[in-house]
Protein backbone atom coordinates (compact mmCIF):
# COMPACT_ATOMS: atom_id res chain seq x y z
CA UNK A 1 0.00 0.00 0.00
CA UNK A 2 2.88 2.34 0.80
CA UNK A 3 4.40 1.62 -2.61
CA UNK A 4 1.14 2.52 -4.35
CA UNK A 5 0.87 5.71 -2.33
CA UNK A 6 4.47 6.69 -3.20
CA UNK A 7 3.85 5.87 -6.87
CA UNK A 8 0.69 7.98 -7.04
CA UNK A 9 2.39 10.85 -5.23
CA UNK A 10 5.35 10.79 -7.64
CA UNK A 11 2.99 10.51 -10.61
CA UNK A 12 1.02 13.56 -9.46
CA UNK A 13 4.23 15.56 -8.92
CA UNK A 14 5.40 14.61 -12.41
CA UNK A 15 2.11 15.66 -14.00
CA UNK A 16 2.19 18.95 -12.09
CA UNK A 17 5.74 19.60 -13.28
CA UNK A 18 4.73 18.85 -16.88
CA UNK A 19 1.82 21.32 -16.74
CA UNK A 20 3.91 24.01 -15.04
CA UNK A 21 6.69 23.49 -17.61
CA UNK A 22 4.28 23.79 -20.54
CA UNK A 23 2.77 26.96 -19.06
CA UNK A 24 6.28 28.38 -18.62
CA UNK A 25 7.10 27.68 -22.27
CA UNK A 26 3.96 29.47 -23.47
CA UNK A 27 4.72 32.42 -21.16
CA UNK A 28 8.31 32.69 -22.45
CA UNK A 29 7.09 32.58 -26.05
CA UNK A 30 4.62 35.40 -25.39
CA UNK A 31 7.29 37.52 -23.69
CA UNK A 32 9.71 37.00 -26.58
CA UNK A 33 6.99 37.99 -29.08
CA UNK A 34 6.22 41.16 -27.07
CA UNK A 35 9.90 42.12 -26.89
CA UNK A 36 10.30 41.62 -30.64
CA UNK A 37 7.24 43.78 -31.29
CA UNK A 38 8.62 46.55 -29.05
CA UNK A 39 12.02 46.40 -30.77
CA UNK A 40 10.40 46.54 -34.20
CA UNK A 41 8.38 49.63 -33.22
CA UNK A 42 11.52 51.30 -31.82
CA UNK A 43 13.39 50.64 -35.07
CA UNK A 44 10.53 52.07 -37.09
CA UNK A 45 10.50 55.22 -34.94
CA UNK A 46 14.26 55.63 -35.36
CA UNK A 47 13.90 55.18 -39.13
CA UNK A 48 11.17 57.82 -39.24
CA UNK A 49 13.30 60.24 -37.19
CA UNK A 50 16.17 59.80 -39.61
CA UNK A 51 13.74 60.06 -42.54
CA UNK A 52 14.79 56.75 -43.98
CA UNK A 53 12.37 54.41 -45.71
CA UNK A 54 11.08 51.64 -43.48
CA UNK A 55 12.16 48.24 -44.81
CA UNK A 56 9.47 45.71 -45.63
CA UNK A 57 8.59 43.44 -42.72
CA UNK A 58 9.82 39.89 -42.98
CA UNK A 59 7.30 37.13 -42.66
CA UNK A 60 7.96 35.32 -39.40
CA UNK A 61 7.76 31.55 -39.61
CA UNK A 62 6.47 31.16 -36.10
CA UNK A 63 6.03 33.23 -32.98
CA UNK A 64 6.62 30.14 -30.86
CA UNK A 65 10.39 29.78 -31.27
CA UNK A 66 11.11 28.26 -27.87
CA UNK A 67 8.32 25.71 -28.11
CA UNK A 68 9.40 24.81 -31.66
CA UNK A 69 12.97 24.16 -30.52
CA UNK A 70 11.80 22.08 -27.54
CA UNK A 71 9.66 19.93 -29.84
CA UNK A 72 12.65 19.50 -32.16
CA UNK A 73 14.80 18.37 -29.22
CA UNK A 74 12.13 15.93 -28.04
CA UNK A 75 11.77 14.48 -31.53
CA UNK A 76 15.53 14.09 -31.87
CA UNK A 77 15.86 12.47 -28.44
CA UNK A 78 12.92 10.16 -29.15
CA UNK A 79 14.41 9.16 -32.50
CA UNK A 80 17.80 8.40 -30.98
CA UNK A 81 16.18 6.43 -28.14
CA UNK A 82 14.06 4.42 -30.60
CA UNK A 83 17.10 3.76 -32.80
CA UNK A 84 19.11 2.55 -29.81
CA UNK A 85 16.32 0.12 -28.85
CA UNK A 86 16.13 -1.22 -32.38
CA UNK A 87 19.91 -1.57 -32.57
CA UNK A 88 19.97 -3.39 -29.23
CA UNK A 89 17.21 -5.87 -30.13
CA UNK A 90 18.08 -6.38 -33.80
CA UNK A 91 21.88 -6.20 -33.71
CA UNK A 92 23.42 -6.57 -30.26
CA UNK A 93 21.28 -9.38 -28.80
CA UNK A 94 21.55 -11.63 -31.90
CA UNK A 95 25.29 -10.94 -32.06
CA UNK A 96 25.73 -11.88 -28.39
CA UNK A 97 23.62 -14.98 -28.91
CA UNK A 98 25.74 -16.02 -31.90
CA UNK A 99 29.06 -15.38 -30.12
CA UNK A 100 27.89 -17.28 -27.03
CA UNK A 101 26.68 -20.16 -29.19
CA UNK A 102 30.01 -20.29 -31.05
CA UNK A 103 32.04 -20.22 -27.82
CA UNK A 104 30.17 -22.73 -25.67
CA UNK A 105 28.02 -24.63 -28.19
CA UNK A 106 24.27 -25.15 -28.55
CA UNK A 107 23.78 -27.75 -25.81
CA UNK A 108 25.77 -25.74 -23.27
CA UNK A 109 23.86 -22.59 -24.23
CA UNK A 110 20.55 -24.28 -23.41
CA UNK A 111 21.95 -25.44 -20.07
CA UNK A 112 23.25 -21.92 -19.36
CA UNK A 113 19.83 -20.43 -20.06
CA UNK A 114 18.18 -22.98 -17.72
CA UNK A 115 20.75 -22.18 -15.02
CA UNK A 116 20.13 -18.44 -15.44
CA UNK A 117 16.37 -19.00 -15.24
CA UNK A 118 16.73 -20.95 -11.98
CA UNK A 119 19.05 -18.30 -10.57
CA UNK A 120 16.65 -15.50 -11.44
CA UNK A 121 13.68 -17.38 -10.03
CA UNK A 122 15.47 -18.03 -6.78
CA UNK A 123 16.70 -14.43 -6.38
CA UNK A 124 13.62 -12.61 -7.51
CA UNK A 125 10.32 -13.24 -9.16
CA UNK A 126 11.11 -14.18 -12.76
CA UNK A 127 8.01 -12.48 -14.15
CA UNK A 128 10.01 -9.46 -15.27
CA UNK A 129 12.74 -11.65 -16.79
CA UNK A 130 10.49 -13.95 -18.89
CA UNK A 131 10.82 -11.73 -21.96
CA UNK A 132 14.62 -11.79 -21.66
CA UNK A 133 14.71 -15.56 -21.34
CA UNK A 134 12.41 -16.03 -24.34
CA UNK A 135 14.65 -13.84 -26.52
CA UNK A 136 17.77 -15.73 -25.37
CA UNK A 137 16.37 -19.18 -26.11
pLDDT at 2 over 60: yes
pLDDT in tens, 75-122: 999 999 999 999 998 999 889 888 888 888 777 777 877 887 788 777
String of DSSP letters for the chain: -HHHHHHHHHHHHHHHHHHHHHHHHHHHHHHHHHHHHHHHHHHHHHHHHTTPPPPPPPPPS-S-HHHHHHHHHHHHHHHHHHHHHHHIIIIIHHHHHHHHHHHH-HHHHHHHHHHHHHHHHHHS-GGGGHHHHHHH-
Amino acid sequence: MDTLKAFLGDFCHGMRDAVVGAAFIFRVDKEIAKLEAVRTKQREREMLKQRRPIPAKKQQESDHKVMHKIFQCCALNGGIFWLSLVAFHRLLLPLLHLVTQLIIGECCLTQLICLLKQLLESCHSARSYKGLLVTLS
